[in-house]
Amino acid sequence: MHSIVVATDFSEVANNAVRFACEMAADFQKTVTVFHSYIIPVSFGDNPMPVMPIEDSKAIATESMDKLVDSLKTLYSGTSIESHITFGDITDSLEDYCERNTPWLIIVGNSAEDHNTLWFGSNVISTLKNLPYRTMAVPASAQYKTPRKICLAADYKHVYNKFPSGDLTEIVSKAGAELHVLNVDHNNKQFGTEVPQDAAALEAQLQSANPQYHYVESDNTDEAITKFIAENNIDWLVIVPHKYGFWEGLFHKSHTTALARTGHVPLLALHEH
């Protein structure tokens, strides 16, 4: 687990994420694998047909990748940079590759406006939610800097032994960052009988990171998190997607825009074990 796998479709949004990954790799002493999956363009009509042979699609992808990696090796000469090209759907292809080459982190771009990139809206959400690896979505305007403040948005639901505390404390420790734990609730809607026990379990698991805990009363979780990020100069937002609690709601279609577009802040998804 020494490699950062960063996906690109060669759009500027994605290539900004590639540069982010290379600078992060230098900071965290990791290698980089630039990943691209290609498909065959198909014409629209009564009888959809491939626009070009698969060999031509592969050749175009290879040429673009070679050009990109050559430029990266010049810019980041101290970092080991490799590439991987495959055919198929980006999320499925990433998952297949990572099953065989367990990454330290996956990075994708995150566009709020550019519909001409794969990394817009639902594709970002699908990647964050479904890939069972540490995955970071990098906004188009983000430039890498060592994170000084990392915020975990937590709902204290079903923590126990599944919570990826080791992943989180490792990253916080390597970065030398402050850890802030944010809980958003309204009229104690999330406060069930199990919450005190779950909160105590989370605090015990994160104790080594010496986190600061924050509680915000709001009926708009998206807005409350975004406001907290801005007011507290948070560098990275960490989420733990799961099938219960307020994160289930945030991953519904109506929340896609708010969750995937947190301004200039990279969004890091860690997954339960």
Which residue ranges of the chain lie beneath pLDDT 50?
A: 114-120, 193, 244, 253-256
Pick the closest to residue 17 from 105, 100, 93 (CA basis). 105
Strands of the sheet containing 178-185, edge to edge, are 81-87, 31-38, 3-7, 105-110, 135-139, 267-269, 236-239, 149-153, 178-185, 212-217
Q: Residues in the chain, how many?
A: 273
Q: What is the pLDDT of residue 101?
A: 96
Q: What is the pLDDT of residue 193?
A: 47
Which residue segment(s) compose the domain that 226 sits in? 149-267
Q: Show which of 139, 173, 204 is a domain's final residue.
A: 139
Are 154 and 261 within one domain? yes
Q: What is the pLDDT of residue 207?
A: 95
Pick the closest to residue 84 from 38, 118, 129 (CA basis). 38
As a whole number of Å, the CA-based R_g of the chain is: 19
Give the CATH number for residue 231: 3.40.50.620
Q: How far from 69 is each of 8, 21, 33, CA to CA, in Å?
A: 11, 13, 10
pLDDT digits (tens, 9 = 90+) for 28-85: 999 999 999 998 655 565 666 555 677 888 999 999 999 999 999 999 999 999 999 9
Q: Show which of 118, 139, 160 is a domain's final residue.
A: 139
Are 185 and 131 within one domain? no
For residue 257, give every residue at least 6 positions away whose Cβ sits within 8 Å of its Cβ, in sequence order, or none. 121
Q: What is the pLDDT of residue 144?
A: 97
Q: What is the pLDDT of residue 255?
A: 47
Pick the closest to residue 36 from 122, 108, 129 (CA basis). 108
pTM over 0.75: yes
Q: What is the pLDDT of residue 230?
A: 92
pLDDT digits (tens, 9 = 90+) for 119-138: 445 677 778 888 999 999 99
Q: What is the pLDDT of residue 174?
A: 96
Q: What is the pLDDT of residue 155?
A: 76
The one-letter amino acid code at 179 reads L
**Structure token pair of residue 54:** 């698969």
Q: What is the pLDDT of residue 62?
A: 96
Residues 249 and 240: their CA atoms lie apart, in Å, by: 13
Per the domain annotation, does 186 fall within a domain?
yes
